[in-house]
Structure 1
């Protein structure tokens, strides 16, 4: 390899890794065998069980950390949002919800095929999310067909569980633009949270939805 101009790690560079691997495997095995011989089979089995439990806990912890890191890495830019069609826009919002600890399942809510997202948070709070795009950005305040939210409890995946005490369902309408004035009034009267284009960009850049909407102050 060296004669051909190709270089790899030398033996003294990889030796510490091999020694560490041998110790990690050999020492626990030696401890199990020693206890088996000195104290009896029960001591060896207990030690082996404790080691297996410890290894499993470490593996699960590493997986949890890796999953959390993957979720926290979910980011979207203004270009991503503007380039998305309705389905892509809904997928972006769904991934942001999952990143922040919510479940998000698409459900068809009417004969026109309109899809909302429904799910629950880590605290058991139910969530329903609808979408509006396009007209809001133009600043039109006149009447128009708008995405309205039916009660979350009417969702097909409702399992009949009661809401945690003090936590009303979270109802969201997310837009890539700004909301017309009448929609802001409608939302305030009906307990619906609006996420406009500016808030969406902050959310997509990494801000948690609970911080964005001050959800921890609810109740």
Structure 2
């Protein structure tokens, strides 16, 4: 197989030297033109920099305003019912923030039974599984199994909660009570979202995270 000649080599002969010099001059002209363009546009660049600094300085005030707005957040059941699944998850996130949790929405396809996660300095890490319904369907015990199996080992949660604007079956509520999976049905959701009762008071959460996280073994 023939050896490939290098793409770059030193110019040979006067013609190639002249061509190389021409290329060098062209590059120098391009660079000089770019430098001159930057110099001419410095007022625009300065404005952009000032705006960026102003936005950065304003962000803490925006964060405080958002926190103050969420502190007064109230949602009626009618408002909750009108939400879609995604908006319901964002609403639960905002309710957690209102109650002093740093929370974020994580629900998506393959979320392994976690739609919202949060952290609290006194209560530890929480995971919420949201079940929004517009037809009054009941949440079955299988949802409790799924949350039990993933809350601790997958999400590192100290507290797991199933939240619905509908109802839960008796088996689901009883199983959750036995295995430390909290649940919020329609009446409890009204107390939390509309009346403003903090989640940790509503669920009587301990003042410190439990030493043992939610069990990792799936219970049938």
Q: TM-score range by the shorter chain?
A: 0.5 to 0.7
TM-score (norm 1): 0.55
Q: How does 1:73-84 map to 2 (within 5 A)?
A: 73-84=72-83
Deviation (angstroms), 1:197: 0.8
1:213 aligns with 2:203: yes
In structure 1, distance between residues paired with 2:104 and 2:159 = 15
1:192 aligns with 2:181: yes
Decide which structure has the larger Cα Rg and report it.
Answer: 2
Conserved 8 A contact 1:136-1:178: no
User: For structure 2, which runs of at least 5 residues remain unmatched after alignment?
Assistant: 1-60, 211-220
Partner secondary structure for residue 102 of structure 2 = coil
In structure 2, distance between residues paired with 1:121 and 1:136 = 33
Deviation (angstroms), 1:98: 0.8
Aligned residues, how many?
146
Residue of structure 2 aligned with 1:202, choices 187, 191, 203: 191
Report what 1:161 is aligned to: none
Partner secondary structure for residue 115 of structure 2 = strand
User: For structure 1, which runs of at least 5 residues remain unmatched after alignment?
Assistant: 1-61, 159-167
Higher RCO, Cα 8 Å, sep 6+: 2
Q: 1:97/1:70 Cα in 2 relative to 1: closer, same or farther (>3 Å)?
A: same
Deviation (angstroms), 1:207: 1.3
Partner secondary structure for residue 137 of structure 1 = coil
Deviates more, 1:68-77 or 1:202-211: 68-77
In structure 2, distance between residues paired with 1:185 and 1:87 = 28
TM-score (norm 2): 0.54
Q: How does 1:16-31 map to 2 (within 5 A)?
A: none
Partner secondary structure for residue 146 of structure 1 = helix
In structure 2, distance between residues paired with 1:85 and 1:63 = 27
Q: CA RMSD in A?
A: 3.5
In structure 1, distance between residues paired with 2:129 and 2:185 = 12
1:146 aligns with 2:143: yes
Deviation (angstroms), 1:193: 0.5
Conserved 8 A contact 2:114-2:128: no
Conserved 8 A contact 2:138-2:168: yes
Q: 1:217/1:75 Cα in 2 relative to 1: closer, same or farther (>3 Å)?
A: same
